[in-house]
Amino acid sequence: MKQAIILAAGEGQRLRPFTITKPKAMISIADKPILAHVVEALAQIGIRNIVLVVGYKREQVFDFMGNGERFGIEVSYVTQEKQLGTAHALAQAKSLADTEFLVLPGDKLIEAATLSDFMDCQPQAILLKRVEKPLRYGVVTVENGTVVNIVEKPTEAQSSLINTGIYAFTREIFSYIDPELGIPDALNNMIAQGIRLQTCETENTWLDVVYPWDILSLNSAILHKIQHSQDGTIESGVFLSGAVSIGKDTVIRSNSYIVGPVIIGEGCDIGPNTVILPATSIARNVVIAPFTEIENSVINDDVNIGPGSIIQDSVIDKGCNISGHFTACSDEAEIKVNNEHHVVKVGAMLGEGCNVGNSVTAQPGVIVGNQSQVKALKLISGRLPNRSCVL
């Protein structure tokens, strides 16, 4: 099998505000989009012919992936103009599909080991994983190594095995997907007509990002596998412990204290006297002023964080400018997403391009929309829509 079709057309509405400006597959985890992790996993197992099905905000995928040369792959693109479902997305790639091919989502975090065992399965086949909360996914019933049925988001789970959305197909699949909106529907039709769908189960990385705070758990999972590397400048008096990856042209200024796993991207200016604690990912061109402490957080490109700030269990999207003494401490909070209520331990979630004044306190669980403005000395909580202005 030499080809993979990656479905990367979706938005991910429950991830707003982060997906208002980017597709779900372009959410940054450990200083690179989820899609990059998927493509790198495929390249490592020798699959370099990639068809990308794009749709929502597709120009961002084009700009990032290009022709695939920097990843050592060849990329072709097809567009799903309306995001009607996974089977409809796959149908757009019919003209480019080989005799046999992999299908996988571009918005689920995987590694090469997740796919390597699956390569021994002959089409038609599906990759499964056991999870603690199967009701969020398609629950799969298996007998004698073959699929009996797939039930999407059931009210009661018959097993803990779920559909990862990773498949090995032949072109025969296109005979079943045209009238269907979801690939599991097409597979249930195939099974009903006596076609055998083989299974393979993985115990390796397969992680889904559904809600904004899921970004933190995915980021932590990747960071715990990084290697220590230093391409930047480390001034005197800096303390480094554990796996810390520092990009080129980054300066870690004197008396800063960094405990890995931590990634700091290229062109950053950190410190002096800054504390960065485990499971923190800092992207490119980030400035962190003195006496700031950051823990278990994701800081994206071009963010400026002023002095004396405390940031825990938080996600700050690109282009945010945060003045000094910003406080985003973590605690349990009840957060509503659409009609769902969740109690999670989290700090603050800030969308792109926010400007935050001096001495602002963010209550746990606050979600701030893109391009919002918060004046000095304010307390923010709940959910603020895009372009909010807190005076």
Give the rounded percent of residues in the chain with a pLDDT score beyond 70. Answer: 99
Q: Given pLDDT bands bounded at 50, 70 and 90, which one contains residue 176?
A: confident
Question: Beta-carbon neighbour count of residue 227 at 10 Å?
Answer: 8
What is the pLDDT, as a whole number, of residue 377? 95
User: Average pLDDT of the chain?
Assistant: 92
Q: Greater confidence, 143 or 291?
A: 291
Q: Given pLDDT bands bounded at 50, 70 and 90, which one contains residue 362?
A: very high
What is the pLDDT, as a whole number, of residue 74? 92
Cis status of the peptide bond prior to 371, with omega within 30 of 0: no
What is the pLDDT, as a whole number, of residue 262? 97
Q: Given pLDDT bands bounded at 50, 70 and 90, which one contains residue 179?
A: low
Alpha-carbon distance 29 to 283, whole Å? 10
Q: Model pTM?
A: 0.89
What is the pLDDT, as a whole number, of residue 134? 85
Kindly report, residue by residue over 192-230, the tens digit of the pLDDT: 888 888 888 888 889 989 899 999 999 999 998 888 889
Question: Beta-carbon neighbour count of residue 155 at 10 Å?
Answer: 6
Q: What is the mean pLDDT of residues 124-137?
A: 88
Domains and CATH numbers, the chain: 3-210 (3.90.550.10), 222-390 (2.160.10.10)
Question: Beta-carbon neighbour count of residue 235 at 10 Å?
Answer: 14
Q: Any alpha helices (H) in 10-152, and if so which ranges?
A: 34-44, 58-65, 86-91, 112-116
What is the pLDDT, as a whole number, of residue 355? 97
Greatest alpha-carbon pair distance for the chain in Å reads: 70
Alpha-carbon distance 269 to 264, whole Å? 10
Alpha-carbon distance 77 to 65, whole Å? 10
